[in-house]
Amino acid sequence: MLATLKQTAELVELFREHGLKQTYKKGDFIIRPGETPHGVFYVYDGLVKAYDITKYNEENLLIIRKADEIFPLIWAITGQERQVIYQALAPTTTWQISRKRFLEFIESKPEALAPLLDMTIEMYRLHSERILNLEYRTVRERIISFLVTMSNRFGRTTPDGVLIEVPLRHQDIASSVNATRETTSRELSALERKGLLKNKTSLITLLDIEAMRKHLK
């Protein structure tokens, strides 16, 4: 991590002092399909799914933003528009400021770039990991890698194992690992039969995360 607690606190304070507080129900669009972003958002609590639509008219999950993260990050910094949809994956609260104010703050406090660099590095680390998975791993290995990564970002230790506190549809996983939903469902069932995970109402618990990591070596 590059950012100090002070630098992160200053960035958060910018949104709280000058931002518009908004709440969303699960499923609400924050940035709709084809819509130009209408500001820069700080996630106070909740989860925000970022995805685009493939040429086959299917969702392609890009990243899930959690509390204390900012989106759309690339547009906020560069102004480059991308056809990315942002949708609340759970009840979510955000603070929204204009891109103009956001850039003015960065120009006046260059050290505020440190927490943004942390977020950017994490985003590209996840992207690089995804490319590696697609090129060199089987579908089962890609699914395991995706779930382990999600557990690192969203996992909570329970008596049963590590619960991924993000609702994941089979289609979300399938789009992330470049597999069909049917193949993904079949592989998840196989992992469940092996006692490696438990899948209940879109919440996945990794029952033996160390055994799953061994599949990736």
Looking at the structure, tell me whether residues 86 and 147 fall in a common domain. Answer: no
Tokens 């929204």 -> residue:
96
Give me the CATH number covering residue 162: 1.10.10.10
Looking at the structure, tell me whether residues 40 and 104 fall in a common domain. Answer: yes
Residue 187: name the closest of 143, 150, 145 by CA.
Answer: 143
Looking at the structure, tell me whether residues 29 and 103 fall in a common domain. Answer: yes
- How many structural domains does the chain have? 2
Separation in Å, CA 7 to CA 61, 78, 110, 191: 30, 21, 10, 42
- The predicted pLDDT at position 185 comes to 95
Higher-pLDDT residue of 34, 50: 50
Looking at the structure, tell me whether residues 146 and 77 fall in a common domain. Answer: no
Secondary structure (3-state) at 85: strand
Name the token pair of 81. Answer: 């528009």
Mark which of 94, 110, 126 sits at the end of a domain: 110
Residue 181 maps to a domain = yes
Mean pLDDT value of segment 11-39: 93
pLDDT tens digit sequence for 90-117? 999 999 999 999 999 988 988 878 888 8
Mean pLDDT value of segment 180-193: 95
Higher-pLDDT residue of 122, 26: 26
Tell me how far apart the alpha carbons of residues 202 and 107 are, in angstroms, rounded to a whole number.
Answer: 43
| Domain residue limits at 69 | 5-110
Residue 117 maps to a domain = no
Looking at the structure, tell me whether residues 60 and 100 fall in a common domain. Answer: yes
Antiparallel, parallel or unpaired: β 92-97 and 20-24: antiparallel
3 pLDDT band (50/70/90 cuts)? Answer: low
Looking at the structure, tell me whether residues 18 and 102 fall in a common domain. Answer: yes
> What pTM value is reported for the model?
0.87
Looking at the structure, tell me whether residues 73 and 165 fall in a common domain. Answer: no
- The predicted pLDDT at position 1 comes to 58
- The predicted pLDDT at position 120 comes to 84
Mark which of 91, 110, 129 sits at the end of a domain: 110
Say if residue 155's pLDDT is above 80: yes
Say if residue 60's pLDDT is above 60: yes
Mean pLDDT value of segment 191-217: 90
Torsions phi, psi of 150, nearest 5? Answer: -65, -35
CB-based contacts of 30: which residues, under 8 Å, 6+ apart? Answer: 24, 41, 48, 86, 87, 88, 92, 94
Say if residue 57's pLDDT is above 90: no
Tell me how far apart the alpha carbons of residues 213 and 208 are, in angstroms, rounded to a whole number.
Answer: 9
